[in-house]
């Protein structure tokens, strides 16, 4: 089969440009001797100066205390603004050190995609994934702008000067857009990795030749039909002359006239156009595949068939194991690139103070709104990470199912070896001792409850 063209760099280019615009990625997109990009450094310096100026401007929280007459209002918007600005500055300096992990990820993605296309006949739908990431990043930026507008609505009801309101709004936007950038990088890489794990699982399912699940999850694209039509079309050559008669085929003795040849060419061209329209309709049905829930993958042909020899199966299984191991390395690089930042974002959940005074109701509602946004971000990241780990672990389960159906001793020995390797090295998403799974959410909920109980006790004691 002809080698396919892949470009994993093109998929993540929109995420990189967005990160560069907010001063998070001043380095070059690809690995090179020239580490930093001049325009990226200029944007970083300007935004870093702006963040320090906003941090210095917002250091005084007495304005909010005078409005609410509450000594605990340093848990209000002031602490939220200062904390997120500090996190944004920290993210900027961390971004200066994580470019090597980003380069390694993109290089690994390119190698994995090339092998999936050229060896395992996978249709990666890269253009569709690229559009999906652009849409996701744009939606995040629009949603953040809406949150800043909601912040203005809450602040406009307070006796604050327009300069103070503008300063707070700009602080919220500048600080949270850095958090949005880190979140976009994490989500885009997680979705890419889990989609490649899913392709590996579906290739392994092809060893269950008559399994209905295999036929459901492995969608074969009918590109060969168009190739046949094009071949039929090219049999009729424009080779007319006064002394030459065009042969319909070398195997046939009969000849055809020029008019009949043109008519047949038109009919074949019409058939080709009809097949192209049907193919485009079929492609349109899965132009935005829901890879978080749908386990289908798309191929131009099967890797394993009933005619595959044991030696060929063993060779392809080794290649699949290497790809699985590369994806696990990518998860480790992703933890090194985004783990600490996302752990710091969790701190923003604790920055909330529910003041029950009438004068402070709008500030309390605003803080609660931002807290819900941070909680939703954390839950979504953990959900995607859990799906990624489940897809990686599913590989071992499919191997065990294949063991029950394979009769070849050579292939069985290789399957047992692969199963032991997969069990010894499983991907884990997290930061150090903290693992991003649903257990982490339950422990976080317990911490938040204890935190609120302490704050309520301080509030009640201040009233009595």
- Do residues 371 and 352 lie in contact, with contact meaning Cβ atoms separated by under 8 Å? yes
| 3-state SS, one letter per residue, for 390-457 | HHHHHHHHHHHHHHCCCCCHHHHHHHHHHHHHHHHCCCCCEECCEECCHHHHHHHHHHHHHHHHHHHH
| Low-confidence residues in the chain, pLDDT < 70 | 1-5, 60-77, 221-262, 264-266, 268-290, 350-361, 363-364, 432-433, 455, 459, 462-464
State the pLDDT at residue 54: 87
pLDDT, residue 46, reads 92
Residue of 244, 251, 4, 294 lying closest to 122 (CA atoms): 4
pLDDT for residue 453: 78
Closest-CA residue to 313 (of 203, 391, 218) = 203
Q: What is the pLDDT of residue 446?
A: 79
Within 10 angstroms of residue 119's Cβ, the number of other Cβ atoms is 17
**Helix-, strand-, coil-residue percentages of the chain, each rounded to 5:** 70, 5, 25
Burial 138-171 (b: 16+ CB within 10 A, else e): eebbeebeebbeebeebbeebebeeebbebbbbb
Minimal CA–CA distance to 371: which of 142, 174, 76, 92? 76
Q: How high is the pLDDT of residue 58?
A: 75
- Distance CA(428)–CA(392), nearest Å, equals 10
Q: Which two tokens stand for residue 357?
A: 């005074």
Closest CA to 74 of 356, 353, 462, 360: 353
What is the Cα–Cα distance from 395 to 313, expressed in whole angstroms?
Answer: 16
Longest CA–CA span in the chain (Å) reads: 114
- Contact between residue 218 and residue 303 where contact means Cβ atoms under 8 Å apart: no
State the Rg of the chain over Cα.
29
Residue pair 116/124 in contact (Cβ under 8 Å)? The answer is yes
Phi, psi of 313 (to 5 degrees): -65, -45
Residues 6+ apart with CB under 8 A from 343: 431, 434
Domain segments of the chain: what residues? 8-109+116-218+301-316+351-427, 222-299
Instruction: Determine the pLDDT at residue 235.
Output: 38
Closest residue by Cα to residue 12 from 118, 111, 113, 131:
131
pLDDT for the residue 124: 84
pLDDT at 234: 38
Q: What's the confidence (pLDDT) of residue 356?
A: 41
Bridge partner residues of 435 (DSSP): 430
């Amino acid at each position: 089969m002809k080698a396919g063209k892949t470009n994993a760099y093109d998929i993540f280019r929109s995420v990189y440009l967005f990160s560069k615009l907010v001063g998070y990625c001043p380095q070059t997109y690809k690995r090179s001797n020239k580490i930093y990009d001049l325009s990226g450094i200029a944007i970083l310096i300007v935004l870093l100066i702006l963040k320090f100026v906003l941090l210095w401007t917002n250091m005084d929280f007495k304005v909010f205390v005078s409005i609410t007459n509450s000594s605990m209002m340093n848990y209000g918007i002031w602490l939220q603004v200062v904390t997120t600005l500090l996190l944004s500055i920290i993210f900027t300096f961390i971004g200066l050190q994580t470019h090597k992990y980003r380069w390694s990820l993109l290089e690994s993605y390119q190698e994995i995609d090339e092998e999936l296309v050229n060896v395992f006949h996978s249709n990666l739908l890269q253009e569709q994934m690229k559009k999906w990431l652009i849409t996701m990043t744009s939606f995040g930026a629009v949603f953040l702008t809406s949150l800043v507008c909601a912040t203005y609505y809450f602040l406009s009801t307070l006796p604050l000067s327009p300069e103070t309101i503008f300063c707070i709004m700009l602080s919220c936007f500048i600080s949270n857009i850095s958090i949005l950038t880190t979140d976009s990088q994490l989500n885009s890489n997680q979705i890419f990795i889990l989609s490649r794990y899913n392709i590996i699982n579906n290739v392994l399912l092809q060893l269950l030749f008559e399994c209905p699940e295999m036929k459901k999850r492995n969608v074969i694209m009918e590109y060969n039909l168009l190739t046949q039509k094009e071949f039929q079309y090219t049999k009729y050559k424009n080779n007319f002359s006064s002394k030459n008669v065009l042969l319909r085929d070398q195997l046939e003795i009969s000849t055809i006239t020029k008019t009949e040849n043109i008519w047949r060419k038109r009919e074949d061209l019409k058939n080709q156009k009809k097949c192209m329209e049907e193919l485009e309709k079929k492609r349109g049905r899965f132009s935005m595949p829901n890879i978080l829930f749908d386990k289908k993958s798309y191929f131009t042909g099967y890797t394993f068939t009933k005619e595959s020899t044991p030696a060929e199966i063993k060779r392809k299984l080794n290649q699949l194991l290497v790809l699985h191991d590369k994806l696990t390395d990518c998860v480790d690089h992703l933890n090194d690139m985004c783990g600490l930042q996302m752990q710091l974002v969790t701190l923003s959940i604790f920055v909330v103070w529910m003041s029950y005074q009438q004068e402070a109701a709008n500030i309390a509602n605003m803080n609660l709104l931002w807290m819900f946004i941070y909680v939703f971000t954390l839950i979504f990241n953990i959900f995607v990470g859990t799906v990624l780990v489940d897809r990686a672990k599913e590989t071992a389960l499919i191997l065990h199912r294949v063991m029950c159906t394979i009769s070849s001793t050579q292939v069985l020995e290789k399957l047992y070896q692969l199963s032991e390797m997969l069990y010894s090295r499983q991907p884990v998403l997290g930061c150090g001792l903290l693992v991003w799974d649903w257990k982490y959410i339950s422990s976080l909920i317990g911490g938040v409850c204890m935190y609120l109980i302490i704050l309520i006790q301080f509030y009640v004691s201040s009233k009595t």
